[in-house]
Amino acid sequence: LAKTTQPISMDSYEGQEVNITCSHNNIATNDYITWYQQFPSQGPRFIIQGYKTKVTNEVASLFIPADRKSSTLSLPRVSLSDTAVYYCLVGDIKTSYDKVIFGPGTSLSVIP
Amino acid sequence: NAGVTQTPKFQVLKTGQSMTLQCAQDMNHNSMYWYRQDPGMGLRLIYYSASEGTTDKGEVPNGYNVSRLNKREFSLRLESAAPSQTSVYFCASRRRAVLGYEQYFGPGTRLTVT
C-alpha cells in the first residue's frame, strides 16, 4: 500500500476553514483514501472516504485531484471541539488487505 | 447495539504480572485489531485477526499474545508486563463500507505498569 505523509501539527483559529493535506505519491489504481479523527482520550472514528474528485458529508469534505497523489481534508469553520488528531490512510478496494497501519497523523489545535 | 467494548477501562500492574485485555464487538464484523498508543504518539498495530480462527502479527507484537475466541471476541494477553508496555490499548473491528473498509474503535484500556 502507498505510504502517506501528513504535517505533524497545525494550528487554526476558531471559525476558520482548515485544510489538511496528505501525500500518497505511490497510490495505486485500486487504492482509496480514508480519514479518521481522534479526540483526546478516545479511539479514532471514521470521518470520510473517497476515490477521486470531491466527497462531502456532514463533518468534512475530501478533495482528491485527478492524479490522486494527494488528498485534502477540509473542515469548514472549525470550533474548539475540532481539536483532534487526523489520520489519512490508503487502502485497496479490491482486496480486504487486513493489516491496517496508522501513521502519526496531524494534530490540529483550534485556538479561541 | 454497543459497538466495540473493552474491559477493563483502567489497570495498574506491577512489573512481571500478567493480565488479559478483553474486547468484544456486536456488529458481526470479521476483522478485529489491537493497537497501542503511547502518550503524544500515533497508533501502532500489535496484532490483528482477519477472521475467526486466524491471527497475525502487526508492527509491535513482542510481549503480547492474542486469542480470537469467536467472531465477537478478541483478547490481548500480557504474559509478563514491563514498564515499556504502559500505554492506552485500543481494540477495533472493521466492516466493508460503500467504497472500502471502515474501522470502529472501542474506548480504550489505560494500562500502567510500575
Let me know how long chain B is. Answer: 114
Reported residue count of chain A is: 112
Q: Whose CA is closest to B50, among B29, B77, B75, B30?
A: B30
* Preferred mutation among B43, B68, B74 to probe A, highest tally of A CBs within 10 A: B43
Contact across the interface for B99 and A93, Cβ inside 8 Å? yes
pLDDT tens string, chain B, 114 residues long: the values are: 789 999 999 999 999 999 999 999 999 999 999 999 998 888 999 999 999 999 999 999 999 999 998 999 999 999 999 999 999 999 999 998 888 889 999 999 999 999
Over the stretch A63-109, which tens digit does the pLDDT of each residue have?
A: 999 999 999 999 999 999 999 999 999 988 766 677 888 888 999 99
Of B50, B99, B105, the CB nearest to A98: B50
Residues of B in contact with A49 (CB under 8 A): 97-100, 102
**A78 with A18: CB under 8 angstroms?**
yes
CA distance B63 to B77: 9
**By three-state DSSP, how is residue A5 classified?**
strand
Taking CA–CA distances from A101, the nearest residue in chain B reads B45
Q: Which residues of B touch A100 (CB under 8 A)?
A: 33, 45, 48, 94, 101, 103
Torsion sign, CA atoms A88, A92, A96, A97 = negative
**What is the end-to-end Cα distance of chain B in Å, rounded?**
36
Strand pairing class (A106-111; A9-13): parallel
B86: distance to nearest CA of chain A, Å?
15
A96 CA: distance to closest CA in chain B (Å) = 8
How big is chain B by its Cα radius of gyration, in Å?
Answer: 14
Is A81 strand, coil or helix?
A: helix
